Chain A
């Protein structure tokens, strides 16, 4: 097996909270991401799911160095060259690697500069890196616009002339024009209507096959993740609580939080009622409970949960890990009675 394209090791990010006033003092720190590790293989799609405050967006922003991680390594393998720790690089050393790492944003309205034309937005990466200009630049912009389903005739228009779905296509074109190897899609379809969402998901799949892309998809919509991803990492309060191949995760979730999350999804079928597995609200990252952060809401909470933070343990080999003290969480599937949240 090839070495992974991206290895995240012990990634942490904390934000200081300072008092307002002339002499700001450090009041507290919010541990937004806490010791997150995972591998991402070339050509696969990993989904990062969780509720608000789970740290999923902070995680990917640290990986892309839109934020600087507080600790940990982000080991990236560019197409030519050896393993590089993105977390340790300076802004200028990072620049040559930027073309390989791109992002598609959630909000199709705020992610495009309203004062630039489509051609300027899509072509900007090439201009910034001095990769093309003049007629070649125009040709490459037209080419990528066609690839994402827009017409070259759209190039002189401004973003406000487009619908949400079309704007998202412009954002995708900007991300792909430099032929990146890793594309992070941060809730890239969340703001879209369901029929447009389907168009964009199909487009992302087609482009993955064509350009051999590796996706890291951040989403809160479990439907999208199940449809789109090969593996899924579930985050809660800044930590990964379960990481599994999509089919296994949706068929027999192990972590009580994963179970609760899946049960709460309103299934578009009146004969499959959703279930309320947990009460309460997601943990506040600035006031995390001790031990397992989920234990105050966990229906199966027992003695060690409040005291000790569970480490990720393997269920079946390294591809399926879960961070839970419950002995049943890591039993092989055959031993375990099938859980009620199985929805085939």
Chain B
């Protein structure tokens, strides 16, 4: 592991203790984000990518609980903090949320209160973490709005969220997330609700702001296209575990895990004029995770007696920077 990471997650387990039993939504996830880089967590619905990101900000609600592992935040200045160990009302948490780590959401509408102006949202975010006067807060709000590409920010700052379009609202969401210069930005499906031309604008914005402000980004998405365009590294999740991790170019061009291969073969863009090779079956429910490798019932390379017994395979390094959780990774090289 490189020394200069902003976040190190070690063996994180977030389980939902429901009446139907324990649902291991996140079950032993380990990754780290180098300073200034972008890591994408990618996977289908129910793979645990969102729960992972919520765990980092301790936003998981009952019956969900972090039952194990570490979430170590390493700020530029100050001591490392293990977020997983903090108590619910710990003041560190308020310092972290919106200060050290901030988040942008899929639905920009839901994240903005309809009765407050854009300026009030920005000032609130700022004043929670810094001692600033009202005039200073307003000046900073206008400055950040200009930075996220909103025209006439002096006028927009006094408008209400409903007066803005969807793309504009997402820009405001990004402005709120960035106003305190966080060291880590978590973007949870930031463009899923947006049209494709707006999506391109927002992704460009996130990339250029990241370069300008030097923050790291944890991108949560289901879209491998977005991953390819924005991320440096990618971790593919399936049933609460990371099954493959590596640099984006490598993983997308030479996937090693059968699940990643299946995902890429399902994308129409990469298979023009061919029949799509879909993954058979569907994702099993969290209360019925198969033994052995959780993917083995859907895997074309599964071997009885090897893939379907014991616990799930560990994520292991197969070449420099590449990690795969598959016992047959070497045998099934394409």
Contact = CB atoms under 8 A, between A and B. Distances in A.
A261 B196 contact: yes
A30 interface: no
Interface in A117-141: none
Contacts of A226: 268-269, 272
Contact of A193 (B44, B200, B249, B264): B44
Interface centre among A227, A275, A278 (most CB of B within 10 A): A227
B282 A269 contact: no
Interface in A170-226: 193-199, 201-202, 205, 220, 222-224, 226
Contacts of A82: none
Contacts of A195: 44, 262-263, 266, 278-279
Nearest to A205: B275
Interface stretch (B92-100, B140-148, B217-225): B217-225
Contacts of B222: 193-194
B113 interface: no
Nearest to A166: B282
Given A193-B222, A223-B269, A265-B225, A276 B276 contact: no
Interface stretch (B25-33, B48-56, B226-234, B326-334): B226-234
Interface majority SS (helix, strand, loop, mixed), chain B: helix
Contacts of A282: 195, 197-198
Interface residues of A, number: 44
Given A195-B279, A278-B197, 8 more contacts: A194-B222, A194-B263, A196-B278, A202-B275, A226-B272, A268-B225, A268-B269, A281-B198
Q: Which 6 pairs across A and B sit closest by C-beta, in order of nearness?
A: A227-B268, A198-B278, A266-B225, A198-B266, A264-B200, A51-B195
26 contacts: A51-B195, A52-B166, A52-B195, A164-B45, A194-B44, A196-B44, A198-B265, A198-B266, A198-B267, A201-B276, A202-B275, A202-B278, A220-B196, A223-B269, A263-B200, A264-B196, A264-B200, A266-B223, A266-B229, A266-B230, A269-B228, A269-B252, A269-B253, A274-B229, A277-B197, A279-B201
Interface of B: 44-45, 165-168, 195-201, 203-204, 222-230, 248-249, 252-253, 262-272, 275-280, 282-283
